[in-house]
Amino acid sequence: MTMQSTALTRWLSESDSSLRRKYEAQLDELRLAHNGGADIHALVDSEYGAVLTERLRLTFTFEEDPTGLAVEEYYRGLGLRRQVFQNSDYYTRWLVVTPLELETEAAKGVRYPVLFVHHGGHQSISTDEFTAGFHEVAARERIILVMLQDTNWQNTERVLDRLIELFPVDTERVYLAGESQGGYQVTSAFFRFPERITAVLTCGNDIWRDWDNVNEPFTDDERRRVRDAVVPFMQINGQFEASSFAPVSDWRPRKDWGRPRELEGYRDPRRDDDRDPTRNVRGPRRFSNQPEPPAGADKNAWAVSRLNERMSSLGLAERDAATCIGYLTGADSELHRILGFYGDRERTEIIHGTRHWIADIDDAAGMNVFRYVVVENAPHAWPLAAGALGWEFLSRFRRDASTGRIVVDERQTPRTTPHNDVQETSR
C-alpha cells in the first residue's frame, strides 16, 4: 500500500474543508485518548481503521441534520424506522430505532428486546450513533435500539417506562450498553434498578466503582440488590486507554491529557455544557471521581480487589491475587499479560484485523455471567466491535418474569461475528 492510499492520508487530504476538519478533530481526539502506548497512525491505517473511516463517514454525513430526511432514509434502507422524541430541547431528546414491521408483528403478539446505548461524555447522540455498529445489530437482529441525550439513571428508567407504553417491549430482555461516561451511567442504572435489567455492556471503564456519575456512593442496600438480581456483565476496553484499565491487575494514574482538544469537528448549536444534566457538580472533575488506591496501599493488590468486587457482585469465585499480580512480570501467555487475570475460558479473536483478547467466567451453576475483552492498540474510544460482540453476549440472557431470575434463553442463540482467527483455551 502506498502512502498516498492510506486512510490517514485520505483523512488529512480530504478536499471538502468541513469534512477534513472533522477527520482532523477525530485524529486529534484519538491522539489524546491513550496512555502513550498506542500507535494511532497504525490504527487508522489498518483494517480496523478502514471500518472506523466508514462509520465516521456516516456520522459526518448526518450529524448536522440529525432529524432530517437523509438519515431517516438511510435507516429505512436497513429496514428500520428512526424517531426522535422530545426534540424541543437538546437534553430532553431521545432516539428510538425500530423494525419497520414492528406494528404488524406486534399485532401477532411479538415482543421486542430493547437495547439502550449511552454515549460518552461531551458527546451528542449523533456523535456515537454509528461508531460501535449498534445500528447494524438493530438491522440484523430486529430489536428496539434507544439512545438518550440525558443518560442519567432516572431518565433511563423514565424512558424505559415510556417505551413500554409506546412499543411492544419484551420486558424480560432489557439491555444497557455505554462507553466512558455512558458506561458509568449504565453502572448507575443497574445499581438503582437491577431487577428490571437483563444484562449490561460497559466500555472504557474501571472494572468496579463505588459511586455514580455525580459521586453519590452506592448504598449497602443497592449492593445487595445487585448481588441478588445478578446482572450479567461484559466489559470491552482498549489496550491503551488513557485511564490504563488493562491489565486489570495493575493501576496507574489517569493520564494527564495536558491540553484540551484543539479541534471540534462539529458542535450542535443547542449544546450548552452548563445545562448538561449528566455533569458532576460535587467534585473536581466534570465527571465522577476516579478510583485510586488509598495512601500506602499496594496498588496491584488494590487493583485485584476491585476485580474481586466485581466477582462478588456476580456470585463468582474470586481471582487469586498472587497469580494475577504475577502476570505483570511473568505471564504464562500473551492473553494473561494483557488482561492481568485468568478466566474459565480464554481466547484471542481477530476482528476487523485486530486482536481481541477475551476471558469468560461462569457462576457455580455454569452460567457465563462475566466476559472481559481488551482490544489491541486501541485508545479510549468506542470499540468498533462493541455492537456485534456485545449483542452476542447480552442476547443470551432473559430475566424470567415469573421468578425474576436470569436464565439463558436457548431460543435466542446469537449469530456469531465473522472472525479471521480464533485461538481458544480453557483452564
The pLDDT of residue 362? 98
Separation CA 147–CA 153 (nearest Å) = 13
For the question of whether the overall pTM of this predicted structure is more than 0.85, the answer is yes
C-beta separation of 407 from 363 below 8 A: no
Range of the domain at 18: 3-426
Residues of the chain with pLDDT under 50: 1-4, 413-420, 426-427
The pLDDT of residue 173? 98
CA angle, corner 282, sides to 281 and 288, nearest 5? 90
The pLDDT of residue 416? 38
What CATH number did the domain enclosing 45 receive? 3.40.50
Separation CA 287–CA 259 (nearest Å) = 17
CA angle, corner 60, sides to 58 and 61, nearest 5? 65
C-beta separation of 22 from 261 below 8 A: no
Separation CA 405–CA 420 (nearest Å) = 36
The pLDDT of residue 262? 72
> How many domains are contained in the chain?
1
- The DSSP line for 256-306 is ---S--S--S---TT--GGG-TT---SSSSSSPPPP-PPTTS-HHHHHHHH
List, for residues 15-50, the tens digit of each pLDDT value: 899 999 999 999 999 999 999 999 999 999 999 999
Separation CA 370–CA 235 (nearest Å) = 8
- The DSSP line for 118-177 is EPPTT--TGGGSSTT-HHHHHHHHT-EEEEESS--HHHHHHHHHHHHHHS-EEEEEEEEE
The pLDDT of residue 247? 98
